Amino acid sequence: MRITQGTFSYLPDLSDDQIKAQVQYCLDNDWPVSVEYTDDPHPRNVYWEMWGKPMFDLKDPEGVMQEINECRQTFPNHYIRVNGYDRRLGRQTTALSFIVNRPQEEPGFRVDRVEMNDRVVKYTLHSYATDKPKGQRYE
């Protein structure tokens, strides 16, 4: 099951040139760009691992592209995303976030039902990827 998270996730995967153009848009808006990766794609998992520090004062997307490619080389079967952070007072939030790398096989999720008191049923999502321990999930 294809994970759809962040911007552009319903589109086909972005090519490198398209990624560069998006990063350029962030830099033109004075948003520092960072690269993050994870092997746990649960939608509630907001804490992805940081790949290096966020990049400040860049003018050209080539520097970000270099980091993305290094991250892809190290984690070819992880999810990798690029974040643009808008630090302006009043916004101070991630302004743009999109996936630039995904595993070849994405096992997807199942719904778990838990019966509570008074026949109340609670639903939760369970990621098949997290059945295996960390580090072996996408190999």
Partner 1 sequence: MTDEQTTPQAEGANIQTPAEDTALVDIDTAYREANVQQLLDELDRELIGLKPVKSRIREIASLLLIELLREKVSLSTERPTLHMSFTGRPGTGKTTVALRMAKILHHLGFVRKGHLVVATRDDLVGQYVGHTAPKTKEMLKRAMGGVLFIDEAYYLYRPENERDYGQEAIEMLLQAMENHRDNLVVILAGYKDRMDTFFQSNPGFHSRIAHHIDFPDYSLDELMEIAELMVRQQMYVFDDPSRQAFCEYLELRMQRPHFSNARSVRNAIDRIKMRQASRLVQQGGLIAKEELARIDVSDIRQSRVFQGELNGQ
Q: Give how many residues touch partner 1 by CB under 8 A.
A: 12
Among 5, 32, 49, 55, indicate the residue that binds partner 1 (CB under 8 A).
55
Among 2, 10, 46, 59, indicate the residue that binds partner 1 (CB under 8 A).
59
By CB under 8 A, is residue 58 in contact with partner 1? Answer: yes
Among 28, 57, 115, 118, indicate the residue that binds partner 1 (CB under 8 A).
57
Q: Which residues contact 98 (CB under 8 A, 6 or more apart)?
A: 6, 7, 8, 9, 14, 22, 81, 82
Q: What 3-state DSSP class applies to 113?
A: strand
Beta strands in 1-139 (DSSP E): 33-38, 49-55, 79-86, 93-101, 109-115, 121-127
Looking at residue 70, its amino acid is: E
Strands 109-115 and 79-86: unpaired
Among 1, 21, 50, 66, indicate the residue that binds partner 1 (CB under 8 A).
66
By CB under 8 A, is residue 28 in contact with partner 1? Answer: no
Among 6, 32, 63, 107, indicate the residue that binds partner 1 (CB under 8 A).
63
Binding site for partner 1 (CB under 8 A): 52-53, 55, 57-60, 62-64, 66-67
